[in-house]
Amino acid sequence: MQRLRISALLVILGSLAVLTSCGIFKGSGTAVEDNSLAKPLSFTMVYAKDDLLHKQGISSVIGAFEKSHPNIVIDEANETWTGSYGEYLKMKEAVGEFPDLVEMSETQLFADAGLLHEIPGDLVNLLRVVPKVNGRFYNLPLDLPAPQGIIYSKSIFRNAGIDAPPRTFGEFMEACEKIKRLGIDPIVVGAKDIGHMGYWINKFLIDEVYIHNPDWNAQRSEGKVSWTDPGPMKAMNKLASLWEYGYVALGFLATTDNQTASILVSGQAAMLLSGPLMFNQIKAADPSFEYGFFALPDDNGKINVAGAQAPVGWSISAKAAKDPDKLKAITQFLHYFYNEDQYSRYLQAVNGIPSTNVEIDYPLPEAMSGMFRVLDDPKTGKSMFMDRFSGRNIPPPQFSDWFYQTAQDWLTGKTSVEAAMKEADRMWDALKQ
C-alpha cells in the first residue's frame, strides 16, 4: 500500500480532470452542521448494494452519523431484490415507497417524473463538479468516475511469457491465447449480475460507438442510426469473440461480481474487468496476491474509458423535501457524509476519487498508479455507460437492462449477434417515450 493524495486541476461537466500526486484544491470545505432538530425523526435511504465494500463504506458513515445525531434514525430500506437496481427503485415508487434519500443513476427519468428535489446550494458548493439535468442540480456524486480496466494476475502473466500489458486489442487476444495454453481461464466474468455484464458491453460500445458519436443515443431515437450499423455490430462481435475463442471461464452465468475476486486470486482465471473498488476485495481474499491493472485498448491502441462525469449520486426525493424537518435531517447527513473525516471512510472502502473541494488523504493500493496513468494521459478518451447519458441522449426506460440480459443469449448460442441487434432496434422503438 502507498499513501497518496489525489488532486484535480479543474473538472468540467462531462469530463474528468487530470489527476496528479499532490493535494487537491481546498474549497468551501464540509463545515460541521447544526445538528439540532425540534423533534426526533427518521428518513428512508436506499443505495446500490451489489458491491459489498460500497455498502460497507456507506453503512459505516451511517452508523457514525446516528451515534452523533441520536435524534435522527436512518432507515436503510435495502431489501433483497432481483434484477437491476433501477428496476427496484421503480418498484418502490410504484408501491408508494420511494426513498427519501437515494443513490440515483437514472436521474433524467426520475427528475422528469417529478420525484426528485433540487439539491440545496450549500451542498452543491461542497463539490468540485455537479452535473445538471434539465438545468438543475439533482445529484451529489459520491466520488469522481474511475476508469475500469483489466485487473490481472502478475504471476500468470509471467508464466505465460507476457512481459507487458497488451498495447492493442489484438495483443490482448494473443495474451488470452497464451494463458489458455497453460490450462487457465484467461477471463472471469460475473454475468449473474447484469451490472457486471454491462462493464463488458459498455467497454466495447464506448470504443466503437460513443467515443466517435456522443449523440448516438439521440440519433437512434430519431431513427438516424441503427444497432445493426457497423459500429454497434463490431462492438458486440468483439465481445462475442471472447466467448467464441473460449477465453471466458465456464459458469459465468452463475458467477456473481463479488465472486470474481476470489476466482482471480485462486489462480483459476488470469483477468477480470472491473474498477478500483475491486482492489480491496482482492486484498481481503489474499493480501499477498500480486496483481496489476491496465486499460483495455482498442484495435489501434487507443484507450477509451467510462471517465466522463454522469449525473449520478445522492438525490433527495421531492416528497421528503416537503417536510422541512426531514429535509433538514437529510441535509445534515449529506454534510456529514462529505465531511473530511467521514468521507474518507467511504473513499477508502471503494478506493474512490474524492468529489469534494477539500483535501482527502487516505491509503491506496499500488495498482491505483496504473489507473492514474490512464487518467493522466491526455490521449485517453472519456465517455460513459449507455444508461448514464441524460437529456436527449437518455435511452428508453428499461432498455439497458434488457440489452445486458439479452447479451447472454448470443453469448450462450441461443441467438446470433445479428438477430439480437435487430431485436434491439425493435425494443428501443417500443420502449421509447
pLDDT one-digit tens code per residue, 29-76: 444 445 556 678 999 999 986 677 788 889 999 999 999 999 999 998
In a domain, residue 167? The reply is yes
In this prediction, what percent of the chain has a pLDDT beyond 90? 68
Give the DSSP H/E element, type plus range, for residue 45: strand 41-46
Q: Where are the beta strands (DSSP E) in 140-277?
A: 149-153, 185-187, 269-274
Beta-bridge partners for 314: 103, 140
Q: Does 281 share its domain with 257? A: yes
Specify whether 392 is located in the same domain as 299: yes
| Cβ contacts of 112-119, under 8 Å, gap ≥ 24 | 114/318, 115/317, 115/318, 115/319, 116/315, 116/316, 116/317, 116/318, 117/315, 117/316, 117/317, 117/318, 117/320, 117/321, 117/327, 119/315, 119/316
Same domain, 132 and 177: no
Q: How many helices (H) and strands (E) does the chain have?
A: 17, 17
Residues 88, 105: Cα–Cα separation, whole Å: 12
Q: What is the pLDDT of residue 86?
A: 80
Range with the lowest mean pLDDT among 99-103, 305-309, 360-364?
Answer: 360-364
Dihedral pair phi/psi, residue 427, rounded to 5°: -70, -40
For 200-259, the pLDDT digits (tens) are 999 999 999 999 999 999 999 999 999 999 999 999 999 999 999 999 999 999 999 889
In this prediction, residue 82 carries a pLDDT of 65
Residues 328 and 396 grouped into a single domain: no
Whether 370 is covered by a domain: the verdict is no
Q: What is the pLDDT of residue 18?
A: 32
Cell numbers linked to 168: 492493442
Global confidence as pTM: 0.81
Q: Which three cell numbers stand for residue 250?
A: 465456464
Give how far Cα 51 sits from Cα of 57, 199, 276, 278, 280, Å: 10, 14, 12, 9, 11
User: Which single residue is written with the C-alpha cell 445538471?
Assistant: 132
What domain range includes position 290? Answer: 149-305+382-431
C-alpha cell at 201: 458491453
Q: Is residue 373 part of a domain?
A: no
Q: Are 295 and 317 within one domain? A: no
Q: Identify whether 413 is part of a domain.
A: yes
Do 280 and 351 meet the contact criterion of CB atoms below 8 Å apart?
Answer: yes
Report d(CA 117, CA 136) in Å as an integer: 10
Radius of gyration of the chain (CA): 21
Residues 90, 427: Cα–Cα separation, whole Å? 19
Instruction: Please report the DSSP string for 367-422 in residue order.
Output: THHHHHHHHH-TT-EE---GGG--GGGPPPTTHHHHHHHHHHHHHTTSS-HHHHHH
Assess whether 110 and 192 both reside in one domain: no
H or E element in which residue 284 lies: helix 277-285
Q: How many domains does the chain have?
A: 2
pLDDT of residue 235: 98
Q: Are residues 396 and 266 in the same domain?
A: yes
**Do 96 and 198 belong together in one domain?**
no
The reply to whether 244 falls in a domain is yes
Q: Are residues 137 and 158 in the same domain?
A: no
411 and 268 in one domain?
yes
Alpha carbon distances (Å) from 133 to 110, 111, 169, 183, 391: 11, 8, 35, 49, 7
- Residue 158's alpha-carbon distances to 98, 178, 264, 274, in angstroms, are 51, 11, 15, 21
CA distances 241 to 169, 184, 252, Å, are 12, 18, 15
The values of phi and psi at residue 145, to 5°, are: -65, 130
**For the stretch 53-67, what's the b/e string if a residue is b when 16 or more beta carbons lie within 10 angstroms of its beta carbon?**
bbbebbbebbebbee
Look up the CATH number of the domain holding residue 282: 3.40.190.10
Task: Report pLDDT for 77.
Answer: 78
Does 376 reside within a domain?
no
* Beta-carbon contacts of residue 160 (< 8 Å; ≥ 6 apart): 175, 178, 179, 181, 182, 270
How far is Cα 151 from Cα 274, in angstroms, rounded to an integer?
7
Is the domain of 203 the same as that of 317?
A: no
**165 and 91 within one domain:** no
Position with higher pLDDT, 338 vs 26: 338
pLDDT tens across 139-182, in order?
999 998 888 999 999 999 999 999 999 999 999 999 999 999 99
Residues 96-132: b if buried by 16+ CB within 10 A, e if exposed: eebbbbbbbbbbbbbbeeebbbebbeebeebbbbbbe
pLDDT of residue 26: 34
pLDDT of residue 35: 52
